[in-house]
Copies of this chain bind each other. A is one copy, B any other.
């Protein structure tokens, strides 16, 4: 997270030295709160630096709030110093294994941790050079791009590019049917705020991406899990759930399902849409792993032409999770209330993030990067499977694409216990039940094939399995 190593050009070592000297004097109480600092001239002489260096150092210390300037009178130590902040809250080993467990650990774990349970790629697998180039381009963009609010729908050229890409996968939309938001999660959250009432029923796949559970919990709805098979949700049980619970909404990934890596078959897609039509069900299709596909899977949104399917996606997995940008594609008449919701709850999205994503997507190098990335993932998957099998861990299916392997653990022991033991050795795992509404996945574990290269991976896993079996 620290920018320092690369900050060479943004600060001069001399300025840093002067700032350090003043900070030391304040810390050592040689300069007490309210005390006047040496004059610029005097300090420059004492430290044999130029007066402009001292001026710049003083102004940065003012910007930090460490000192204050009284025009015409000089610089003074801040009257009240902020207490030193404690270290970041580390991962909570004791926290209950709930939908937040993996997210909090994966997000807070930091450098020291192995992350087989994390849901995204390591930085070294991401298109860094394209991002650096795009940032340099942005640094020369028109002032409004850098300073102004975005339009309510989001950057038009990006929405036009997305519309062209969607047409390629058979989803014919106009740019003004696309709403840009800050993330895929926010996209689903906004749709839920627009469509759902507390107490209504919502269908999810069982297993499904654990944050769907967390998000739906915030909406106080009844969450119903439908068992997921190797080619989509179990259609018979899906139909049964429609009759029993009269759900308002169904949230799913059609292509490269999280956590299983399974793909919805065309026949199941057709059946789901017919059943949904009859039941008046709305579907959110989360297409976040689209760019990882090797062969195109069917999309509910394309079959249904956005009649009752709303598609959402983001660029967090393939492009950057640091520049937040996601989208909603829906029928025109639903867009306007969603725009009002976006303004009411976040005003606008980040025009800068949208411009950055646009710059990367229209650069040919992004496609080359993704081709190489897909090959790299296949290789990693192929080498991980035997390693897991040696530990008695069996993939539920062998996905043809994506980041994940959904695996059955050797008999005995609970995945959550196993994950706790692994965490004690600084390895974050994703135990089955955080994905399962029915808590029926206690013998499953999701592995991210791009995050299992830690030298200790197999040993830690083996020890954790033994301990969990006790």
- Over the window 64-108 of chain A, the binary record of Cβ atoms lying under 8 Å from chain B Cβ atoms (1 yes, 0 no) is 111010000000001111110110110000000000100110011
Instruction: For chain A, residues 93 to 152, give those with C-beta under 8 angstroms from any C-beta of chain B.
Output: 100, 103-104, 107-108, 110, 120-121, 123-124, 126-128, 131-152
Complex interface: chain B residues within 8 A of A362 (CB): 60, 63-64
Interface 1/0s, chain A 143-180, versus B by CB < 8 A?
11111111111011101110111111010111110000
What chain B residues lie within 8 Å of A27 (beta carbons)? none
The stretch among A199-207, A320-328, A406-414 that forms the contact with chain B is A320-328
Of B135, B147, B151, B153, the residue contacting A123 (CB under 8 A) is B147
User: Whole-angstrom distance from the CB of A153 to the nearest CB of chain B?
Assistant: 7
Q: Which of A155, A343, A351 has the most chain B CB within a 10 Å cutoff?
A: A343
- Oligomer: number of copies: 2
Nearest chain B CB to A340 CB, angstrom units: 6
Whether, in the assembled complex, A3 has its beta carbon less than 8 Å from a beta carbon of chain B, the answer is yes
Of the listed stretches A213-221, A263-271, A381-389, A397-405, chain B binds A213-221
The distance in angstroms between the C-alpha atoms of A355 and B343, with both chains bound, is: 24
Please measure, in the bound complex, the distance between the C-alpha atom of A66 and the C-alpha atom of B339, giving whole angstroms.
29
Q: How large is the interface on A (under 10, 10 to 19, 20 to 34, 35 or more residues)?
A: 35 or more
A182 sits at the interface (CB 8 A): yes
**A interface SS class:** helix
Residues of B within 8 A of A173 (CB): 82
Closest beta carbon of chain B to A232's beta carbon, Å: 24
Asked if A211 is an interface residue, CB under 8 A from chain B, the answer is yes
User: A264 CB to closest chain B CB, in angstroms?
Assistant: 21
B100 to A346, Cβ gap below 8 A?
no
Check A107–B152 contact: CB distance below 8 A: yes
Q: Are A364 and B60 in contact (CB under 8 A)?
A: yes
Q: Which single member of B9, B167, B189, B367 contacts A137 (CB below 8 Å)?
A: B9
CA distance A177 to B159 in the complex (A): 37
Q: Kindly report which residue of chain B lies nearest to residue A123, judged by CB atoms.
A: B143
6 A–B contact pairs at CB < 8 A? Answer: A59-B365, A82-B160, A88-B156, A100-B344, A120-B149, A186-B345
Closest 6 CB pairs of A and B: A59-B364, A85-B175, A65-B164, A82-B167, A126-B147, A135-B139
Instruction: List 17 extra interface pairs beyond A3-B141, A65-B166, A218-B341, CB under 8 A.
Output: A1-B156, A3-B138, A7-B140, A64-B161, A81-B164, A85-B159, A85-B174, A89-B176, A107-B343, A108-B152, A124-B143, A126-B143, A323-B352, A324-B324, A324-B346, A324-B350, A324-B353
